[in-house]
Structure 1
Amino acid sequence: MATKIPAEKFGICQCETHHSESILYQILNKEQGSETKWHKQNCSPHCCARSKGCPCLDRRRVVLRTPEATCRRASEVLLKTSTFIRNLPSFYHMPWEDQFVLIQQNWAPLFVLGMAQEGVDFDLREIPGTSLLKKILLNQCSTAVNELGRSSAGASFTEVQKMKNLLWKFWDLDISGKEYAYIKGIILFNSECHVLKCLPYVQSLQQEAQKALMEFISIMFHGSLSRFASILQLIMSLRDIDADAIEELFFRPFLEEATLNVLLLETISINPDWL
């Protein structure tokens, strides 16, 4: 369904360049030069760009290649996510403080799960970064070092690629509609939110969703424990999704100073001002 986009498509990893050999670069950015040297010594040219700790990937910023169409589909996913929550009587049986916490902590994985269910794929383009030397030549030396690798525009390439990888994994498993519903319940009723006033109630709801998912898989897939384990692993990975990256990539032009968290709370009639 989707074509995986290798990191190399967005340019050569900075670890493979020769900045560390520049005397000017070492003087102005000694620490970064040391990191680059370490990567050149310990990472092969082919694995460097994929290295989890690669600082070059952390600095790279991306935006949507077709923002109008993709943002429209993302907004539809967000609306369906809020509708799913609104249609759960068990959710509204909880105190509004607990509702607030569950939305705040779980809207991002629910949104990515909705993207997977709706089959929303998206292409990216990288935002070219301004080199340190160029900033110096443009009389920006005082802020050049501090701004190196940081951009106010675009989302983190690393975080966005993590999200795309999860989408591909869900599509590879060919998750059914009922499985998606049970997974949403497992995510929303997150028993790891220990600050909840009615934690035992939330724990019971999550256990019910997990039991229903297991029974469905047992019937439809002949008791495939490996499928159940794979889905649980994906649920754990969903909790690592960066909410800020989602906001920046899909909703920043519309949110302005607001946050997607507040928007969702208002959509399902939870007033954050109460807190």
Structure 2
Amino acid sequence: MECECRCSERSRAHAILFNILTGDAEATDLSYSPSSRCHCDTRRTVRLKSRDTCLAASSVLVKTVRFVASVPAFQQLPAEDQCALLHHCWAPLFILGLAQERVSFEVEHEPVTSMLKKILLNREHERGENREQPTLSGVQNLKSCLRKLWSLDLSPKEYAYLKGTMIFNPDVPGLQEAPFVDSLQCEAQRALREVLFLLHSGDGGTFGRVLLAMSSLQSVTPDLITELFFRPIIGSAHLIHLITDMLFAR
């Protein structure tokens, strides 16, 4: 049975109660419609319309990990630091990959799970209940990030430098070589600024727009990306373990 939105019902009840208390009997109309827009739809769980998108996303993820593993400065770091940095940055790097590959996608509402299925899959349900499920609101936020990146019309070279600034984050907890990572981040940011200035005819505002687009990527959680693009194909496996395996498979 479909879940029904109760927003308008609650608003209508509040209006009726207010009119009764204020003595405005004529305004107590059962046909009352709320002036505020219902946002329940944006909180509903969604899924990809096409399974082909999962395959495209998988290709982007593989390319992302291979890119990180191929960076000479990254290879100089201890294995523990490599894992920590990749675990921290894989999600925004993946979004950059989606933007660079111009991957577009559509979603649809997830069918409501039947009570019988919940009972039969109770154990799996309990294991997954703490995972963030993709909602229409979350997907709209992700698409907004992609549109910002597309509007910048970056070249492959610019994307490469941009990824470099995101890989080396000295604030990641537990790094053994944090000072070295800090110097690498400064070097990557300086190189990005120079290439943007060179390719955009001295437009100093481009760097600021790129930084703004980068900051928006942090609003997209790894869980949303995992559940939307990869859960349909990896099942109950942990994506972060698969990413780590890919990193050291080189």
* TM interval, short-chain normalised: 0.7 to 0.9
Q: How does 1:154-173 map to 2 (within 5 A)?
A: 155-173=134-152
Q: How does 1:104-123 map to 2 (within 5 A)?
A: 104-123=87-106
Counterpart of 2:182 in structure 1 is 203
| Residues 151 and 189 of structure 1, relative CA distance in 2, 3 Å threshold | closer
Structure 1 unaligned blocks of 5 or more:
1-12, 24-42, 50-55, 141-149, 271-275
* Kept after mapping to 2: 8 A contact 1:154/1:248: yes
Counterpart of 1:66 in structure 2 is 50
Distance 1:18 1:160 in 2: 27
* Kept after mapping to 2: 8 A contact 1:104/1:261: yes
Q: What is the DSSP-based 3-state SS (H/G/I as helix, E as strand, rest coil) of the residue aligned with 1:107?
A: helix
| Residues 15 and 166 of structure 1, relative CA distance in 2, 3 Å threshold | farther
Q: How does 1:242-257 map to 2 (within 5 A)?
A: 242-257=221-236
Q: What is the DSSP-based 3-state SS (H/G/I as helix, E as strand, rest coil) of the residue aligned with 1:175?
A: coil
For 1:230, give the aligned amino acid. R
* Kept after mapping to 2: 8 A contact 1:127/1:154: no
| 1:227-250 residue CA offsets vs partner (Å, 9 max, x unmatched) | 101111111221232111111111
Q: How does 1:130-149 map to 2 (within 5 A)?
A: none
| Residues 78 and 105 of structure 1, relative CA distance in 2, 3 Å threshold | same
* Kept after mapping to 2: 8 A contact 1:63/1:125: yes
Alpha-carbon offset, residue 207 of structure 1:
1.1
* Kept after mapping to 2: 8 A contact 1:107/1:261: no
* Kept after mapping to 1: 8 A contact 2:132/2:223: no
Alpha-carbon offset, residue 44 of structure 1:
5.9
- What is the total number of aligned residue pairs between the two structures? 215
Alpha-carbon offset, residue 177 of structure 1:
0.9
For 1:63, give the aligned amino acid. R
TM-score normalised to the size of structure 1?
Answer: 0.70
Question: Is residue 2:44 matched to residue 1:18?
Answer: no
Distance 1:189 1:44 in 2: 48
Q: What is the DSSP-based 3-state SS (H/G/I as helix, E as strand, rest coil) of the residue aligned with 2:219?
A: coil
* Kept after mapping to 2: 8 A contact 1:16/1:45: no
| Residues 232 and 152 of structure 1, relative CA distance in 2, 3 Å threshold | closer
* Kept after mapping to 2: 8 A contact 1:62/1:126: yes
| Residues 17 and 119 of structure 1, relative CA distance in 2, 3 Å threshold | same
Distance 2:184 2:160 in 1: 13
Which of 80, 90, 96 is equivalent to 1:97?
80
Once structures 1 and 2 are overlaid, which stretch shifts more, 261-270 or 103-112? Answer: 261-270
Task: Find the structure with the greater CA-based Rg.
Answer: 2
TM-score normalised to the size of structure 2?
Answer: 0.76
Q: Tell me the C-alpha RMSD between the 2 structures.
A: 2.9
Alpha-carbon offset, residue 83 of structure 1:
1.2
* Kept after mapping to 2: 8 A contact 1:106/1:239: no
Structure 2 unaligned blocks of 5 or more:
15-33, 120-128
| Residues 211 and 153 of structure 1, relative CA distance in 2, 3 Å threshold | closer
Alpha-carbon offset, residue 95 of structure 1:
1.2
Alpha-carbon offset, residue 195 of structure 1:
2.6
Counterpart of 2:65 in structure 1 is 82
For 1:208, give the aligned amino acid. E
